[in-house]
Structure formats: C-alpha cells, structure tokens
Structure 1
Amino acid sequence: MELRLMWWNAGLSPGKGPKASGDKQQAALAVVNGLIQTHRADLFGLCEVSEADIVRLSNEFGPKGFGIVPIQDKDGQAQFDMCLLYKIDTLAFDLTSKLAAFDMRSKSKIKVGFAIQAVLLQNGEKISIVASHWPSRMQRAKDHVSRIEMSTALRDLVEQKRQEGWGRFVLMGDYNDEPYDTNLFNVLCATRDHAFASKRKDYFYNPFWRHLTGQPYDASSTNHALHGTFQYAASHEPQQSWWLFDQMMFSSEFVGEGPWHLREEDTGVANISRQVYDYTPKPTFPGKLTKSQTLFDHLPIYSTLERI
C-alpha cells in the first residue's frame, strides 16, 4: 500500500500581493493536473489560495475523483490560506485542529499549522498531516523571535495530539526557513539523520536536507540545476538566489520498525520548469501567457509513504 503526497505554494492569492490573473489561474490548474498525473498524488497540499481559488480547484478536480479540504480559517490576524486535494476513493478525514501562536513582539497571532487525521479507506489506518504556511522573511526576518515561537508551538501541537492518541505525523509546508535554520533544526528537531530520528519520538526526519544543492555541475549539460524550491534573485542575502523553504518532515514511525515507511527515493522537488523564471506551460488553455503571468516562484515537492 502506498500514499503519495505533494505540496506546492501556488502563489495564486498571496496575502499582501495581487491576485493571479485568469490566465495564470488556468496555468496553475494545468500544473496541478500534470503533477497529479505524473506523481499519482493521493494528497496534494496547496497554499496561497483563496476561497475563490478553492472553488475553481473543486470544479476542476471534483469530476476527476478528488475532494477538497479548505483551510481558510481566521484566528485573530492569522489567516490560513491553504487547502488539501485528496482522492476520495483512497482517503477520508477524521479529526482536525488548527493552531495560531501569539507573537509577543508584534502583539498579533501567527498561523502555525493545521492538523488533520487522514484515514486510509483500504484498512482504516490513520496518518496525521500538519500543513503550515509561515510568514515570509520580509515580514519576519530569519532570526526573528516569532520564528522560534512558531516552531515551539508546532512541537507543542504535535505533542498535544500524541497525548490525544494521534500518531504517524507528516509535517508539510512552506516554512520560509531552510532545514539548517535554528527554528527547524534546533527547536522543531527536524534532523537529517534518519537513524537518530528512528530512536527518538520527539524528533522528525527531514529528507529535504539533501535537496539543498542541485545536480553536480556538468559543462556539457544545458539543464538548469535546481538548488531548492524557491528562487528569489533580489534576495538581501546575495550569496545565493535559491532557497529550500518547502519541506516535508516525518515522525519516527516512518523511519523505524514500521509498518509504514518513507520511501526516500520517491521524495524530492518536482521540476516543473527548466528554470522557475522561464516556465512555459503546455497550451492546454486559451491565450498566450507573458513572462510575468507565468511566474511561479516556488517549486512543488513530493514524498511517498509505503506500508510494508
């Protein structure tokens, strides 16, 4: 038995930015459709989507056998902007719980995560999914204290759910931090050492450490190497333009004695473009898109779980 997971910051309705044009909306639908077919996704998390985007997704993928869980709740100033697409013949959902942390510096709430139990229809087993979309570094810098508060709150949420009987946790999201940053590595305890994580239930295994760099340089290759999931050429940190902000992290149950395991060779970054800036979708919808209309600044990620 397998469960294939995907995540993408589609950038359709960013909180403080302009909403996507109609052509870009159609391009995003084409991308999601292609990814579902290529990676045979059972569960697809999306962020920077609005209620109107969710209606379009539902109209597009409902007839293809997908349901949708909208995550559009508002908690104070914290507005959740996510949804989950899922195969209705594979999954159902049981319990949910959202969490927003209070930022003492700004006196405002920050969206931390949305937890939901996915039920596998084949055997009734449950897997806990926690989806997150954390503030950008333009809103809260890399070392801002609120980022530590978010990681602490996410750990507390997982621990609370464990005490309520939840297990097998998958964290997925756009964290706007890289795997080695303090709040993910030291506070959330998401390690690159799966042997260590397998022995410690308070740790997560983060396989996306190995996607911090692209393919080895090859002078004969014309392919653009990917060095993360987010490209920001105008970064205030000029030593690089790629960042690995989108990640999935797995609790010890997936790297231990089973029965569910991460199949790491089926985990990675989906290359939807030769280069993020020059992505050109297939002409499956009318109209010609300009460079600015087709700019998706995040790449999707995927993972596969298998029951042995």
Structure 2
Amino acid sequence: MDDFCNIVDFLLNDCELDFLALLEVSVADYDVLRKKLGVGFNIIDASNSAGVNLYFDMVFVYRDGVFDFVDKFDLTKIYEGRTYKSAQQLNFILNDLLVHFFVSHWPSRIYAKPDDGARERIAETIANTIDRDIKGDASLVILMGDYNAEPFERCIQGSLSASRDFSLVEGNSKLFYNPFWRYFSYNKSGGVNGSYFYKNGWGARWMMYDQIIFSSAFVSGSSGLVVDDDSVCIFNHALIDAAYDRHGGKLFDHYPVLAVIKGK
C-alpha cells in the first residue's frame, strides 16, 4: 500500500494530473488512499455491487477547483443470462462545461471471448446511453479504462464508433477519436509496446487494452476544449516500471495511460 500510495501521489502531484481513475481497488485500499491524499484532492469511492458476485471496483480522484462533481451512474448489460459491467458514468463541470466520463473495466478474455458477442453488447450499452442522454454535436464525452480489447476490435472500433483518423473525427460528430492505434508499431529497444504484457501471447505479447477515447468535440474544439494529441501516452516512468508485473509478483499488471485536455 505504501508503494501504491507513493505512485498515486507521484501521478497527482509530480505529473500534475487533475483526474485519475484507478481500477481493481478495494474498500480497504480506498480507506488508506483517502487518508494519504493531500489537500486539494477529492476522492470518489465508486465500488459497489452490480449484481450477484459482480462489483464495480473503481476509485476516482480529482483536483478540487478544476473539476466540480455533478453525479454518477452505473451502466450494466445483461447478455445471455449474465450481467456485465459496461461503465461508470461520471459527470463533471470543467471550465463551465459539462464533461461526461464513461470509465470501464470490461471482463477478462477468459470470461468473455473476443468472438462471443458479449463485448459488442457491453459497448452498445455505452453508445446507447450517449445517444439517448447526451445531446448535441458539441458534447464532451471521454471513454476510458481497461477494455481487455484492442483498438481494432469490433467492440471498440464498431460499437463505440472509435476511429484512428483524427481529421475524419474532426468533421463528424458521430465518431470518437482513439489515439491509441499509434502503439502498434514495434519498439525495437525492447521497451513498452502496449499497456499490458501477456508472456504467453500468440502472435504478440504486448496488448493495447487501456485506452482514452474522445468525442468529436474534443478534436474539433467546437466547445473550447481540445485533446492535445501529442500528450497521449503510455506512462512508463521508472517508478511505474519498478512496480510493473511483467513476470509475476509485482504491484501492477497494466501501465497507466495519460492524456491532456487544454483550452483551444
């Protein structure tokens, strides 16, 4: 827990993050983190039951005075008799604008195979919620989390309408921009080539499971806020590397992903 809290402190203070989503966090972890957080941050314990033996396990930290929290909703999907977690929707005010986060931790590929249709239905729940509840071409929506799926898979590219083409998204309010396609080129130095390393992977061992995906308004800047495309990254600082579980026994098994939003 000391290592965990030190890394969170580093991300919030040294990296100056204003919003941080943490997945697979227990109630006990939340209690420790809440006591360790310094002045100027608020924490949302979003861990709660989503059905029989199914729990959301997320904690959200945001900087006071930057984001103003509005409300939160849980999105689930029942598919073929099983309940899945689609996302937790958090709504904030940022620069007098309403920003909607949909933070997801989709099931492991052990429990939902890439071709069984579950992920498409999970993703459609998010897409349908956005279509029904969030109106306007300038809507500010951010999809993020551990999808246990890569950017090219149907559930991400198709069901969430997440495109790799910046200029195409800029002119089409129905599309989302997914900048994490860029990590499919191989790093010959032997460094990080994805957010998750599976040592027994067939065809590839690095997977790009963790992503931050932006609605068109963050690309066109139509509302005054825009994603800084150059800032998007897998964060593999030495402090994270030391805690990363590539071969077993360490603290984290996913690298964090980061992005910056700025005024246009």
- TM-score, normalization: structure 1? 0.79
- Structure 1 residue ranges (4+ consecutive) displaced by more than 6 angstroms after TM superposition: none
Partner residue in 1 for 2:93:
119
Partner residue in 2 for 1:12:
none
Identical residues among aligned pairs (%)? 25
Matches within 5 A, 1:136-155: 136-155=108-127
Higher-Rg structure is 1
Asked whether the 8 Å contact 1:272–1:299 carries over to 2, the reply is no
Deviations 1:79-99 (A, max 9, x none): 111111011122111132221
In structure 2, the CA distance between the partners of 1:257 and 1:292, relative to structure 1 (3 Å rule), is: closer
Structure 1 position 74 matched with structure 2 position 49: yes
Measure, in 1, the Cα distance between the counterparts of 2:117 and 2:137: 31
Partner residue in 2 for 1:65:
40
Partner residue in 2 for 1:183:
155
DSSP 3-state at the match of 1:267: strand
Deviations 1:203-229 (A, max 9, x none): 1100111123354x25xxxxx421100
Out of 187, 195, 209, the position equivalent to 1:229 is 195
Partner residue in 2 for 1:244:
208
Matches within 5 A, 1:8-87: 25-61=1-37, 63-77=38-52, 78-87=54-63
Structure 1 position 303 matched with structure 2 position 259: yes
* Greater relative contact order, per chain length (Cα 8 Å cut-off, separation 6+): 1
Partner residue in 2 for 1:211:
183
DSSP 3-state at the match of 2:230: helix
In structure 2, the CA distance between the partners of 1:213 and 1:28, relative to structure 1 (3 Å rule), is: farther
Deviations 1:271-292 (A, max 9, x none): 034995xx259xxxxxxxxx85
Partner residue in 1 for 2:84:
110
Partner residue in 2 for 1:17:
none
Measure, in 1, the Cα distance between the counterparts of 2:34 and 2:41: 8
Partner residue in 2 for 1:21:
none
In structure 2, the CA distance between the partners of 1:176 and 1:147, relative to structure 1 (3 Å rule), is: same
Measure, in 2, the Cα distance between the counterparts of 1:113 and 1:48: 14
In structure 2, the CA distance between the partners of 1:203 and 1:134, relative to structure 1 (3 Å rule), is: same
In structure 2, the CA distance between the partners of 1:50 and 1:133, relative to structure 1 (3 Å rule), is: same
| Deviation (angstroms), 1:232 | 1.2
Gaps spanning 5+ residues in structure 2: where? none
In structure 2, the CA distance between the partners of 1:51 and 1:280, relative to structure 1 (3 Å rule), is: closer
DSSP 3-state at the match of 2:131: helix
Measure, in 1, the Cα distance between the counterparts of 2:9 and 2:135: 38
Q: Which has the higher strand share?
A: 2
DSSP 3-state at the match of 1:265: strand
Measure, in 1, the Cα distance between the counterparts of 2:221 and 2:239: 39
Asked whether the 8 Å contact 2:138–2:173 carries over to 1, the reply is no
- TM-score, normalization: structure 2? 0.91
Measure, in 1, the Cα distance between the counterparts of 2:137 and 2:176: 18
In structure 2, the CA distance between the partners of 1:196 and 1:40, relative to structure 1 (3 Å rule), is: same
| Deviation (angstroms), 1:268 | 0.5
Partner residue in 2 for 1:89:
65
DSSP 3-state at the match of 1:178: coil
| Deviation (angstroms), 1:146 | 0.8
Structure 1 position 269 matched with structure 2 position 234: yes
In structure 2, the CA distance between the partners of 1:154 and 1:280, relative to structure 1 (3 Å rule), is: closer
Measure, in 1, the Cα distance between the counterparts of 2:165 and 2:136: 27
| Deviation (angstroms), 1:158 | 1.4
Query: How many residues get paired?
Result: 260
Partner residue in 2 for 1:285:
none
Asked whether the 8 Å contact 2:40–2:63 carries over to 1, the reply is yes
DSSP 3-state at the match of 2:93: strand
State the Cα RMSD in Å. 2.2
Measure, in 2, the Cα distance between the counterparts of 1:66 and 1:141: 38
Asked whether the 8 Å contact 2:106–2:146 carries over to 1, the reply is yes
| Deviation (angstroms), 1:32 | 1.5
Deviations 1:160-183 (A, max 9, x none): 221499920001100000000111
Partner residue in 2 for 1:6:
none
Partner residue in 1 for 2:143:
171
Measure, in 2, the Cα distance between the counterparts of 1:89 and 1:184: 33
